[in-house]
Structure 1
Amino acid sequence: MIPVAYNLRNLAVRKTTTLATAAGLGLVVFVFASVLMLANSIERTLGRSGRPDVAIVLRKGSDAELASGIEAQQVSLILGNADVAKRPDGKPDGVGEIAAVILLPKLGTDGESNVQVRGVPDDVMAFRPSVTLVEGRPAQPGSDEVIVGKAISGRFKGLTLGQSFELRKNRPLKVVGIFADGGSSFESEVWGDVHSVGSAFGRQGSMSSVRVRLLSPAKFDGFKASIDQNQQLGLEVLRETDYYEKQSEGMNVFIGALGISIAFLFSVGAMIGAMITMYGSIANRQREIGTLRALGFSRFSILLSFLLESICLALIGGAIGALASLAMGMVRFSMVNFASFSEVVFTFEPTPGIMLGSLAVAVVMGLFGGFLPAVQAARMSPIKAMRG
């Protein structure tokens, strides 16, 4: 077996071509890792919005809150179910909410985008204890005040603490607080009083959804059965985790398909670049190859040696690309949620699995890019090589 130091020395001697090829391979790994990090962020952001012991009730046939409508009298029937947990004060642990979208100008651009507005009751913090105010104060019940998720605070006109925006014409709402929820999709929403939001959108007497905390996750089937058997209600029940998993499917498929397509096209170019580099290296090292054969190294040893050199080159590029992709963790990326048609802010969230998978992609590119040049080197006649 030819020592690995031989291959590393050759890569070091040819610094320019090594770095150029590694940069091309690194670009592919950078794109691939970034796509996986974004897809992971989409899944986690929406996944953080759901709780295993929470059920969401929608109008039957609705695939999202925006398309759902539940009458006010039905809300009390849902909250009064025996499987719904009680708070310390004896009230059912659930909330009826209204979901709507408004169009607002984006700061720093000439464009506009949809923002989700959620009408919430005054005890919403008791239902969602993970939500915390990071700036300002809570909105007063029944007032034209709102609190804004920190992910979209400052990204749209009027969504900064102390500023105002119009929910409807001549209906300004003032931002009095900024809230956080552990990076969930709620941080991309505006929360206002349920009655104020309902009157602005003509939704008095109805809710978009009802969420309830069950006595335990195991109570879900019983709760769902009790709602389903009442055909007059015309409602359906989902686990909150399943609801948000469905919400993320469309975006994940879109991002995955687009990103993988781009990475595939880049990888073809990178493998061709690696192949050209290895062919050039072999052409300049014919005497060395002939000498190695004369010293008794087999064709298989030559093949493995050049394959190893190509893999080392790919790993260098892969490491560069993987490390560069970590910088994307500081970038905030917004896109429209296909289910709610509103803008949601995501980050790029790396995991050890994504980093290792990206390096594995680099190794595969190194194998494909170096195989044919390695075969050529292995088939080279030692006598002709030494004469060359």
Structure 2
Amino acid sequence: MNKQWLWNLLTIVLLVVGLVAWIMLPWQGVLAVAVALALWLFLTRQGRLALAATGIGIASLPQRWGASSVIVVGIAGVVAVLVAMLSMGRGFQTTMNSTGNENTAIVLRGGSQAETNSVIMRDQVPLISSLPGIARDGEGRPLVSPELSQVVNLVSREDGNDVNAQFRGVGELGWAVHDSVKIVEGRKYGSGLREIVVGQGAQKQFRDLDVGSTLTLGNQQWQVVGKFASGDVHDSEIWTDAQTLASTYNRGAWQLVSVRTEGKAGFEQFKAAMAGDPRLKLDVETTKAYYAKQSGQLNQLLTILGTVIGAIMAVGAVFGALNTMYAAVAGRAREIATMRAIGFRGLPVVMAVMLETMLLALLGGILGGLLAWLIFNGYSASTMGSNFSAVVFQFKVTPELLWSGLKWALGIGLVGGLFPALRAARLPITTALRAL
């Protein structure tokens, strides 16, 4: 009894390890496995027998399509949920990674991980502006934008609940620093006026942000005068003049300074000069690096969560495949016994059942991936960013995620078909033939 228990436990452990190794296998490895299997099937006698036995099993699928559809639908559900969960993280990461570039730097207080916990004194801004490596506009002014980040409550269009939004105060030269931000409707806000422009993502997410609308923020009335588009995380924000925002919320210091540098060399020069000035105990990095870092933890969390949920659902799909294939083997007992009696050995029978299950799993994987792509690809959602405000992004179902889902499907089919296949190979010929 103990030996049998240990053997079963070892079998389960080996299956889990093998399944994990299969899912992590790169496409080159999968291609090598597929080529090796194809060569064995077409160039060996046992392989050709396995193909013949598989053909017999597939031909009988219409007679038991109801039971077989359990495998297809179950695996399709696993793949659809898994790909959808992972596409959420991939979409958020893509939005964050598309924000910023190598020519724009963000300056924060030393040790600050995000804008919300950073403080930069006003008298430090002229010192920052005097450093080398900073690009200048046509009038010779350094492209430096002292900014504020204020979290405000706006009403969600979807359910009417209050949601945190990013209200950013931008310096006079902020539009030149953030040159990817373009007005697509209306106009820019005026300096010293309580006027705001809204990102296209924020306008879709929140109420009362249409151009011409008025809303109350900080006990003051603000006029929406324009809408902008940037194609990145700034689409989720609303912007105004930095000094106006500071006076509204009684801010005596800035939170960050955005700087446009003279290319990569200019950034390195600016960073070195910043580190060499003892009056400036500030951190500086490119905006691309900063926003990419902000997305890392959430993407990792969503990946882990999606994998765990997918694994739990995969267990259910495996049991569904096991039940279905055990029933199929029992129902085809005479057929399998007849094949064994006329010369089919155990290996071709095992491979026939396995190939049949893998085919059903492949159909389920394709169906699940197609559903995930049709329903979720490009679907807009929002989540909380590093500044505790909503970031609007789109789910991104990539070929890489679809490929991962397909490998999960084939892995489930492999595990679900293995034990029924072994049972079919060990089926006593004489016992089965007595039923003829």
- TM-score class, shorter-chain normalisation, is over 0.9
1:99 and 2:159 aligned:
no
Given candidates 369, 375, 382, the residue that maps to 1:322 is: 369
1 CA distance for matches of 2:56 and 2:196?
67
Q: Which amino acid aligns with 2:226?
A: G
2:176 aligns to what? Answer: 126
Deviates more, 1:263-272 or 1:106-115: 106-115
1:274 and 2:324 aligned:
no
2 CA distance for matches of 1:321 and 1:129?
41
1 CA distance for matches of 2:60 and 2:239?
62
1:28 aligns to what? Answer: 78
Given candidates 278, 285, 290, the residue that maps to 2:337 is: 290
Contact 1:154–1:160 (Cα < 8 Å) also in 2: no
The unaligned stretches of length 5 or more in structure 1 are none
Given candidates 355, 370, 374, the residue that maps to 2:417 is: 370
Contact 1:7–1:308 (Cα < 8 Å) also in 2: no
Deviates more, 1:215-224 or 1:31-40: 215-224
Contact 2:143–2:173 (Cα < 8 Å) also in 1: no
Contact 1:157–1:165 (Cα < 8 Å) also in 2: no
1:200 and 2:248 aligned:
yes
Given candidates 181, 202, 215, the residue that maps to 2:230 is: 181
Contact 2:132–2:269 (Cα < 8 Å) also in 1: no
2 CA distance for matches of 1:19 and 1:88?
68
Q: Which aligned pairs between 1:221-300 and structure 2 lie closer than 5 A? A: 221-300=268-347
Shift in Å at residue 79 of structure 1?
2.3
Q: Which aligned pairs between 1:294-313 and structure 2 lie closer than 5 A? A: 294-313=341-360
2 CA distance for matches of 1:61 and 1:50?
21
Q: Which amino acid aligns with 2:235?
A: E
1 CA distance for matches of 2:378 and 2:290?
28
Deviates more, 1:308-317 or 1:236-245: 236-245
Q: Deviations over 1:191-246 (max 9, x none)?
A: 11111111112124x22111222222244343222212223222111222221122
2 CA distance for matches of 1:9 and 1:162?
66
Contact 2:144–2:173 (Cα < 8 Å) also in 1: no
1:42 aligns to what? Answer: 92
What SS does the corresponding residue of 1:113 show, helix, strand or coil?
A: strand
Shift in Å at residue 51 of structure 1?
0.6
Deviates more, 1:11-20 or 1:110-119: 11-20
Deviates more, 1:298-307 or 1:108-117: 108-117
Length-normalised TM-score, structure 2: 0.84
Length-normalised TM-score, structure 1: 0.94
Contact 1:56–1:240 (Cα < 8 Å) also in 2: yes
Q: Which aligned pairs between 1:45-124 and structure 2 lie closer than 5 A? A: 45-124=95-174
Following superposition, which runs of at least 4 residues in structure 1 exceed 4 angstroms of deviation? none
Contact 1:333–1:347 (Cα < 8 Å) also in 2: yes
The unaligned stretches of length 5 or more in structure 2 are 1-48
Shift in Å at residue 6 of structure 1?
2.9
- Name whichever structure is richer in helix by fraction: 2
Contact 2:378–2:396 (Cα < 8 Å) also in 1: no
1 CA distance for matches of 2:104 and 2:95?
17
1 CA distance for matches of 2:60 and 2:243?
73
* 1:42–1:108 distance in 2 versus 1, CA, 3 Å: closer
What SS does the corresponding residue of 1:307 show, helix, strand or coil?
A: helix
Shift in Å at residue 329 of structure 1?
1.8
What SS does the corresponding residue of 1:2 show, helix, strand or coil?
A: helix
2 CA distance for matches of 1:13 and 1:96?
72
Shift in Å at residue 80 of structure 1?
2.2
1 CA distance for matches of 2:349 and 2:238?
64
Shift in Å at residue 333 of structure 1?
1.4
Shift in Å at residue 330 of structure 1?
4.0
1 CA distance for matches of 2:342 and 2:138?
84
2 CA distance for matches of 1:162 and 1:329?
32
Q: Which amino acid aligns with 1:213?
A: R
1:138 and 2:188 aligned:
yes
Q: Deviations over 1:30-58 (max 9, x none)?
A: 11111221111111111111212222110
Q: Which aligned pairs between 1:152-171 and structure 2 lie closer than 5 A? A: 152-169=202-219, 171=220
Q: Which amino acid aligns with 2:270?
A: F
Given candidates 373, 378, 383, the residue that maps to 1:335 is: 383
Deviates more, 1:345-354 or 1:123-132: 123-132
Given candidates 56, 59, 62, the residue that maps to 1:12 is: 62
What SS does the corresponding residue of 1:52 show, helix, strand or coil?
A: coil
2 CA distance for matches of 1:224 and 1:126?
20
* 1:235–1:370 distance in 2 versus 1, CA, 3 Å: same
What SS does the corresponding residue of 1:134 show, helix, strand or coil?
A: strand
Shift in Å at residue 16 of structure 1?
1.4
2 CA distance for matches of 1:187 and 1:320?
34
